[in-house]
Structure 1
Amino acid sequence: MAESEVIGDSYHMGKRVVVVPGMENVRAAFQTLKWPDYMICALTLLCSVIIGVYVSFFYTPVTAKEYFLGKKKLKIIPVGLSICASFISGFLMIKIPTDTYLYGIQHVYLIIGSIAMTLVMNHIFLPVLYRLNLTSVYEYLEKRFDKKLRLFGAVLYIIYMLSWLPLTICIASATFVSVTELNINFVTPVLCTICIFYTSLGGLKAVIWTDVFHMVIIFASLILITVKGTLDIGHIDVIVDRNLQSGRIEGPNLNLNLSETNTLWTSVFGGCMYYLFVSAINQNVMQKYLALPSLKDAIKTSWLFVFTLCLITMLCTYCGIIIYAMFHQCDPLTTKLAAEKNQVLALFVMKVLSEYSGMSGLFIAGIWSGTLSSWATVLNSVTAVVVEDIYTIFSTTQFREKQWSILLTKFTSIVLGIICACLAYTVNNVDTVLKINSIIFSVTGGPSLGLFIMGIMFPWINTKGVFIGGISSLCFMAWLIFNTLAGNNFTSPTKSLTTTECRYHFVPQQIFTDQTNTSGVLTLGEEFFQMSYLWHPLLGVLISVLVGFSINLLLDSPDPRDVDPRLLAPFVKKYIKPREFPNEPGDGIIYAFDSSKKVTNDVSSLECMQPNNS
């Protein structure tokens, strides 16, 4: 038989011509959304609007505080589901299966870090922040230190969140466009407009109840694709066996290399700090805890949140395992059937669900639900920070208790939503937005968390030390990240990917660039500059605390007994010896009487206290 030769989409094999489908034909075959799919997507958006209108009709907040906290009458289950829905986002619903397909299940061990975070938050952060009756968590920084630190923390939060919102919208829009012929410039404004509408209309309560609805859609979509994918492959043993052979299912990585993204140590220690930053001190999560009737309810809600988060993480990971079992001999990234890695999940869904009208639409609705939940939560929380932390600092009027504050609050929400929509609309490249967000997270995460840790856990540290520590940490992390970008990019090696059984014509493509350091061994300096992003919050905290303590040694330290005990962690208060007298000043005055003796009305007992005029 003569040697085969590729001509267009045909193979000349001797006297036979074997016609195989071309890439465009195969890609077009996967774009099979039908009108029931579009109908389910449209109904998801419509229901979100209806819930927002319904809540705003039956619930009318009088002040900005009621608008942001729902009158503190929310329930455990809705709030717990809402926190999880906003935390997962459409981005993580795509990222976790994709990372499993490419790198294996090491990210699952982040669950340990999330549980550790919950323990720390419930015993250190939540008891302090909840009992202060806050609206914005950054109010704590003013109560503990001063307005400058409150403004500093609020600005870092706003910058980070404004970089994160376009990412969620880009992911959701790109996923929908990858399986349809619609333009991304049409999808993005529609999602943004709907989210802005119901968020500004109903406040936090509308966000909570739309999140509950979205959580139902998310669970339904994940269960649907995992069950159908398992049935298509045939048996769960086949799925497990294929992933075991490729090394995707494996035990925890005990390597001490800082540059590896997912090791056991990264997941436990780095993951705990990462989750503390995105949960314990982030307004978008803590605001929902503050809206509950009691601290006991808030603690229960935190455990419901972490349980639901672990459940969805496992579902998304199993989905990634199924994807590999489905494509284990024909990788769509190498063939470029999937233009980028974020489209692998959408490709898998269209393959297993396209024969059932409406089912693919349910998956798209799940991605949109995660996106809308994240968007609504962040939009509401950023509005709260702007109103409570920015406006009130520079305003001379009492704002929050005025009835007209509701109108200004809603107007602020709409303006911020439009700004975020413009950012998402102008930046449609997912990789670019992801890179920008990762940089801002790495730079701001540690300094922000360090401010709260120094305030809650170290009563003897002074305000100047905290401020200089936070600024120093911010500058150091910016220097580190930009030096990392300027250096060599060490990419994480993927697991085995093959194309031996592909049934269509393609030009092989390299998925990722090779590691610049071909030896595979990093020097200590290279390892430091290429450390996993999960280590960045921990490093930022250490820098801010070390600098803060150094400054504290050079200046006068405040007396821990002068700090309001409500501003300190419960276990810290136990080690602060109370003053002998409640009104004893901290200016070093020596009292001219013995506290061990009872005070009497006998004049002679006071003679020693009379001034000597002789």
Structure 2
Amino acid sequence: MATGQPLFGTWDYVVLEYLLADKNMSFTPVAFSLMASFMSAITLLGVSSENYTFGIQFIVINISYGIFTPVAAYLYLPVFFRLQATSAYEYLEKRFGKVSRLAASLSYTLQMTLYMGVVLYAPALALEALTGISKVAAILSVGLVCTFYSTIGGMKAVLMTDVFQSLLMFAAVFSIIIFAVIDKGSFAEIWRIAEQGNRTELLNFDPDPTVRHSWFSLIIGGGITFLSLYAVNQTQVQRYLTVKDLKTAQKALWLNWPILTCLSLSTSFSGLAIYSKYYNCDPVKAKVINSVDQLMPLYVVDTMGDIPGLSGLFVAGIFSASLSTVSAAVNSLAAVTIEDYYKPLYKRIFNKSLSEKKIAVQSKLIALFFGFLCLAVAFLAQFLGGVLQASLTIFGVVGGPLLALFSLGMFTTTANEKGALTGLICGVSLALWMAFGSPKPPLPTLPVSTDGCVDAFNVTAPNLMRTVTGEKEYFWLYKVSYLYNGVFGLLTTYIMGYLVSFAVNKVCGHNQQNFDPNLFIPPVARRLEKMMDSPLSLKQWSDSDEDLRAKYVTNNRKF
């Protein structure tokens, strides 16, 4: 992409420097930041406990990341680089209208605020198990530190610290794997114990949507979650725009995939490593810890507690994972608030634009506000269940419908604002109903034992098996895998949005020719370009439409 002024709108210096890091970042730190923005302490604690409790089926989700990376890179990213706006939701205003932009940005704000609460809650669980520090003290410490440096430093500080924090995350996971191999003698022995405990089942191809994890739910549901995060989410779009051009952003996204997969696979194996130690004495059933999400820190205490520095390394990794995610969210929420709420409201009230000085101060104050808000939400996160499933549920409920909203605008010329908003309301409502409707059936966890607990923790407990009660009394929709929340929300939003838009167009007789190609994915944009260049098509354009066409032809850039 050629350098120069963006096709739609301009930046002031504060936005360029504070929120977009001067647009001069290289793709390597951006790739690490793309991973670290969402792979937080939830990944380290949640994925390891997932594999300990349910087996390794979850690793199939990494295949979906590879399948959907080119979709995000070559369909969605070009549209945002043509737009070049600080807020991704400015696209929705240009494609549909102001109400769509406001609805989407409010949904994003809710999504990220809830997610930040879970992210801060996760290291609190770890510290409670490791040191006995209360959850309140742990949440306050990590939240205040993160809020401070995110507020002062802006996007460039966030990106650079994400790199170092990512390395600490890897160090924490690898330390567990290395000590497990030393303890058991080999990788093969860890795998043998996991296989004996039925933790190695990987070939579940059951298409039943009520099956929690199968190849279908993990690839389809995981892929939709990935796209909702890496294709249209403000946190990631803002990172793409910190590089100089589209090709560099695509390189960053491609590099993100192996980094993300490496962390996911190593964390998954760490779950089996932990199981190799506690396979005959489950710490949760023995009431040594309060939650399966505390398994990893407990393992660190048991195996590395007497080695100076290693427990501290793990704590640093857990904290770093949370810091990177919260800092990313705080900065992006500040960008959305400034661009989508504050600037339009200020201009409407005072009939003038914000000065650069006011933007500089108020961006920092808004980032500070969201930092404190996420602290408050963190105290409610304990009621959302396991941290991994809670985070993916939050992403699915809001992310699926938002992905459909952007897709309606980018993939089809039929969609209009009335249809898009109708679809969004229906999609979010259904996803919320699926995610938080009750009663829910118990999770089909694998069996655990406490036979060895007399020696391990000096407790006496009978052999315990986790069982699943009958599910006939549960409503079918409540039994659907949590990974399908986003899929159902996306399909409902897209189908309802398209049908309502089609009906509105038929009734109102809207002219479907008058579109700027820059607002669509490359294949649709090329088709519209041909229509604009056709003499027959040009006759259908009004005078005002000709102005749009002239603007497009003058500013068109090759990607």
TM-score (norm 2): 0.88
- Aligned 8 A contact 2:427 2:489 in 1: yes
Pick one of 124, 127, 130 that aligns with 1:179: 130
Letter in 2 for 1:291: T
The yes-or-no answer on 1:578 pairing with 2:531 is yes
The verdict on how the C-alpha distance between 1:295 and 1:473 changes in structure 2, with shifts beyond 3 A counting, is same
- Aligned 8 A contact 2:221 2:484 in 1: yes
Match of 2:518 in 1: 566
Match of 1:451 in 2: 405
Aligned equivalents of 2:500 and 2:161: distance in 1? Answer: 47
Deviations 1:200-256 (A, max 9, x none): 111000101111111121111211221111101112221111112222113321001
Match of 1:533 in 2: 482
Shift of 1:113: 1.1
Aligned equivalents of 1:307 and 1:400: distance in 2? Answer: 42
Aligned equivalents of 1:495 and 1:212: distance in 2? Answer: 36
- Write the mapping of 1:14-163 to structure 2, written as runs, cut at 5 A: 62-163=13-114
Aligned equivalents of 1:374 and 1:453: distance in 2? Answer: 26
- Aligned 8 A contact 1:138 1:154 in 2: yes
Shift of 1:300: 0.5
The yes-or-no answer on 1:235 pairing with 2:186 is yes
SS at match of 2:132: coil
Shift of 1:295: 0.4
Match of 2:249 in 1: 298
Aligned equivalents of 2:512 and 2:24: distance in 1? Answer: 35
Match of 2:460 in 1: 506
Match of 2:423 in 1: 469
Match of 2:310 in 1: 359
Which 10-residue stretch deviates more, 276-285 or 243-252? 243-252
Match of 1:478 in 2: 432
Shift of 1:400: 6.4
Match of 2:121 in 1: 170
Aligned equivalents of 1:359 and 1:240: distance in 2? Answer: 24
Match of 2:297 in 1: 346
SS at match of 2:357: coil
Pick one of 255, 259, 282 that aligns with 1:308: 259
Shift of 1:439: 5.9
Shift of 1:528: 3.3
Letter in 2 for 1:135: T
Superposed CA RMSD in Å reads: 2.4
Aligned equivalents of 1:432 and 1:295: distance in 2? Answer: 37
Match of 2:221 in 1: 270
The verdict on how the C-alpha distance between 1:379 and 1:543 changes in structure 2, with shifts beyond 3 A counting, is same
- Aligned 8 A contact 1:166 1:433 in 2: no
The yes-or-no answer on 1:246 pairing with 2:200 is no
Letter in 1 for 2:17: E
SS at match of 2:531: coil
Shift of 1:427: 5.7
- Aligned 8 A contact 1:333 1:511 in 2: no
Shift of 1:545: 1.6
Which 10-residue stretch deviates more, 536-545 or 393-402? 393-402
Aligned equivalents of 1:556 and 1:430: distance in 2? Answer: 42
- Aligned 8 A contact 1:257 1:527 in 2: no
Letter in 1 for 2:34: I
Match of 1:421 in 2: 375
Pick one of 548, 554, 562 that aligns with 2:497: 548
Match of 1:372 in 2: 323
- Aligned 8 A contact 1:242 1:325 in 2: yes
- Aligned 8 A contact 1:99 1:320 in 2: yes
Which 10-residue stretch deviates more, 274-283 or 308-317? 274-283
- Aligned 8 A contact 1:200 1:413 in 2: yes
- Aligned 8 A contact 2:224 2:487 in 1: yes
Match of 1:387 in 2: 338
- Aligned 8 A contact 1:65 1:400 in 2: no
The verdict on how the C-alpha distance between 1:399 and 1:506 changes in structure 2, with shifts beyond 3 A counting, is farther
Letter in 2 for 1:419: L
Shift of 1:501: 2.4
- Aligned 8 A contact 1:335 1:508 in 2: no
SS at match of 1:198: helix
| Structure 2 unaligned regions, length at least 5 | 1-11, 544-559
Shift of 1:399: 4.5
Shift of 1:466: 1.2
The verdict on how the C-alpha distance between 1:438 and 1:322 changes in structure 2, with shifts beyond 3 A counting, is closer
Aligned equivalents of 2:296 and 2:443: distance in 1? Answer: 20
- Aligned 8 A contact 1:170 1:430 in 2: no
Letter in 2 for 1:379: V
SS at match of 1:214: helix
Aligned equivalents of 1:173 and 1:500: distance in 2? Answer: 30
The verdict on how the C-alpha distance between 1:548 and 1:285 changes in structure 2, with shifts beyond 3 A counting, is same
Match of 2:556 in 1: none
- Aligned 8 A contact 1:167 1:433 in 2: yes
SS at match of 1:99: helix
Shift of 1:287: 0.7
The verdict on how the C-alpha distance between 1:130 and 1:114 changes in structure 2, with shifts beyond 3 A counting, is same
Letter in 1 for 2:477: F
Greater Rg, structure 1 or structure 2?
1
The verdict on how the C-alpha distance between 1:333 and 1:480 changes in structure 2, with shifts beyond 3 A counting, is closer
Match of 2:9 in 1: none
- Aligned 8 A contact 2:20 2:242 in 1: yes
Match of 2:385 in 1: 431
Letter in 2 for 1:98: S
Aligned equivalents of 2:483 and 2:196: distance in 1? Answer: 28
Letter in 2 for 1:69: L
- Aligned 8 A contact 1:281 1:452 in 2: yes
The verdict on how the C-alpha distance between 1:181 and 1:501 changes in structure 2, with shifts beyond 3 A counting, is closer
Shift of 1:180: 1.3
Q: How many residues align?
A: 520
SS at match of 2:84: coil
Shift of 1:63: 1.6
Shift of 1:442: 4.3
**More helix per residue: 1 or 2?**
2
- Aligned 8 A contact 1:334 1:509 in 2: no
| Structure 1 unaligned regions, length at least 5 | 1-60, 589-614
The verdict on how the C-alpha distance between 1:371 and 1:359 changes in structure 2, with shifts beyond 3 A counting, is same
- Aligned 8 A contact 2:210 2:480 in 1: yes
Letter in 2 for 1:578: M
Letter in 1 for 2:413: P
SS at match of 1:561: coil
The yes-or-no answer on 1:200 pairing with 2:154 is no
Which 10-residue stretch deviates more, 579-588 or 130-139? 579-588
